Chains A and B, each alone.
Chain A
Amino acid sequence: MKLRNPFLAPTAILMAITMLAPLAIVVVYSFMTRGAYGGVELPWTLENFTRLWDPVYGIIFLRSFWIAAVATALCLVLGFPLALFIARSGSRKNLYLSLVILPFWTSFLIRTYAWMFLLRDTGIVNSVLQSLRIIREPLPLLYNDGAVILGLVYGFLPFMVLPLFATLERQDPSLLEAAADLGARPWDALLRVTLPLCAPGIRAGAILVFVPCLGTYLTSDLLGGSKTVLIGNLVQNQFTASRDWPFGAALSLALMTIAMVLLFAARRGGEELL
């Protein structure tokens, strides 16, 4: 990459320091031996990578991909109608958009804790249902995969809505008139014109949601409890409780590689579809 604009230099330096340097450290650590009290030691070894083949980790990887995929799909299903509604709401567009990003004004951690207060056995949802005598025993709303997916969808929905909105807003409204003129009912026009033309936004939104969901550890830690271990939690554990930094580094490299292969494949597939 050639740097033509001197104003780009600070960004380029920041990117180098905060992204490339840590990545290099992760790569180096993944080939080293764990230290007795954390940290890393010599000699060089490949053992961290051979350990990855243990099916225990394979299952955790699969579960993480599955949960991220479900959360992404739900974000799309919920986000598309919302983005379409905002894109077609004329002068109130900006108001609705600011409502979509309003949750960002509060820390993600606090918002996740709020979900715990809502969902736990003595939480608001269960106590209201109990006091209305709809249920007798509290529903198991917290500490399961459902709660994790709920938290992820809640947290990342704006990342789906914003690119969808940007694509939908740019669509030429006369295309919908043309579709109706050629006999397409509104649903037909949505499926045959609006949706296919929204493909770049869907792809961008899916990547923006899927990638952070895949690496999540906070949501799964707080809402999933001890039963839901995802790759994010596994990596976090290696650097904290297990004090196995090299293995943590190898795990995160493996995650990054698989995710990048998948994204590349998705991009190729997407281009063929369009």
Chain B
Amino acid sequence: MPPETLPDTVLGLRHLSKDFATQRAVNDVSLEIPRGAFFSLLGPSGCGKTTILRMVAGFETPTSGEVWLNGQRIDALPPYQRNVNTVFQSYALFPHLTVQGNVEFGLRRSVVAEVEKRVREVLRQVRLEAKASRKPSELSGGERQRVALARAIVLQPDVLLLDEPLSALDPQLRKQVRGELRDLQRRVGVTFLFVTHDQEEALSMSDQIAVMNAGALEQVGTPREIYSRPRTRFVADFLGAMNWIDGIGVRPEAVSICPEGRKAVVTGVTYLGSFCHIAMSLVEGGEAIHAQVADGAAFTPGQTVCVTWNRQDEVRVS
């Protein structure tokens, strides 16, 4: 590991760049991922997050820059010599092997008795003991995802790379699996590098998030920091709805409608169950402003109201 690195860094990216034929996919990204963390790379599709994951796994060679794993430079090593494992977006399970066969695949060189014990243990952790002799085609989407996970964590990688592993699941299941994945990560203590374009997913699961845009890092921080103290307009907008008033950002849930404040005209009321979304336009300046209120029954379009917010909820971006 380069000398200036923090001692608890397991994976370090140094000035990592990747050029494809016509465009730069990753532009000078430096990151330090702490050991044992649930670390997310968040960004819209095409922002380079999957390319970073593939360079860590060894499927892509960086155009420039370095990848360090546990104090060893690994960017020139083939995938099979890196102690990282991947959960693929499509899972990439071997269709000709059973669940057991898939999980055993990477344990080829280990002692037989040891293999059996570890496979049984990891299948128990992902609740698939009963399906060990099934083929992937006989499993549900959620079960396949757990096989992909089991197959990777059984090798006890230094970092587990997850490429949008929840995107193939239906929305109901996705929320449930978020919690399970987070629990599993805490239990096994493996560092997760999790790629996603879903900000809710990243916010709810991560210890730290790196937000990416157009191949470059925008901001790195805890979910709370990223959401409430975004440093760029891109981060502010990507993490959730944001009002921009006179160059200052205010989240809709921070806007309150009360007797005194700036005058605004209600332009729309949307009932969303647990809360109501009120769209307004400021009388002075005409900018659009949105608010979230618990009960929207008192508001109708055309009505004039007053809006205000706390100073500490304001967001200033560069």
Contacts and interface: CB of A to CB of B under 8 A. Distances in A.
Interface string B63-106: 00000000000000011100011101010111110000000011
Interface string A175-192: 101111111110010001
A274 B80 CA distance: 26
A181 to B, nearest CB: 5
Interface in A137-185: 172, 174-175, 177-185
A250 B94 CA distance: 48
Most buried by A among B88, B105, B155: B105
Interface residues of A, number: 19
Contacts of B84: 181
Interface in A223-274: 274
Contact of B105 (A172, A179, A199, A274): A179
B80 A175 contact: no
Contacts of A274: 96
B96 A181 contact: no
A178 B58 CA distance: 11
Interface string B127-160: 0000000000000000000000001100100000
Contact of A184 (B57, B88, B93, B105): B105
B187 interface: no
Given A184-B80, A184-B105, A178 B95 contact: no
A177 B59 CA distance: 7
Given A183-B108, A192-B105, A178 B78 contact: no
A171 to B, nearest CB: 10
A180 B78 contact: yes
A180 B92 contact: no
A211 interface: no
Contact of A177 (B92, B105, B106, B151): B92
A202 to B, nearest CB: 13
A193 interface: yes
B168 to A, nearest CB: 13
B88 A174 contact: yes
A175 B84 CA distance: 16
Nearest to A181: B86
Contacts of A174: 88, 90, 92
Nearest to A273: B96
Contacts of B85: 181-182
Interface in B145-195: 151-152, 155
Nearest to B79: A180
B195 to A, nearest CB: 15
A179 B155 CA distance: 13
B94 A193 contact: yes
A183 B92 contact: no
Most buried by A among B79, B88, B95, B106: B79
Interface string A84-114: 0000000000000000000000000000000
B88 A182 contact: no
Contacts of B78: 180
A158 to B, nearest CB: 27
A196 interface: yes
Contacts of A192: 105
B208 to A, nearest CB: 24
A197 interface: yes
A196 B57 contact: no
A182 B96 contact: no
Most buried by B among A178, A181, A197: A181
Contact of B94 (A175, A185, A188, A199): A175
A197 B79 contact: no
B105 to A, nearest CB: 5
Contacts of B57: 177, 181
26 contacts: A172-B90, A172-B92, A174-B88, A174-B92, A175-B92, A177-B59, A177-B88, A177-B92, A178-B92, A178-B94, A180-B78, A181-B58, A181-B79, A181-B80, A181-B152, A182-B105, A182-B106, A182-B151, A183-B108, A183-B155, A184-B105, A184-B108, A185-B80, A192-B105, A193-B94, A197-B96
Given A175-B94, A179-B105, A184-B106, 16 more contacts: A174-B88, A174-B92, A177-B88, A178-B86, A178-B92, A178-B93, A181-B152, A182-B80, A182-B85, A182-B151, A183-B106, A183-B108, A184-B80, A185-B80, A188-B108, A192-B105
Interface of A: 172, 174-175, 177-185, 188, 192-193, 196-197, 199, 274
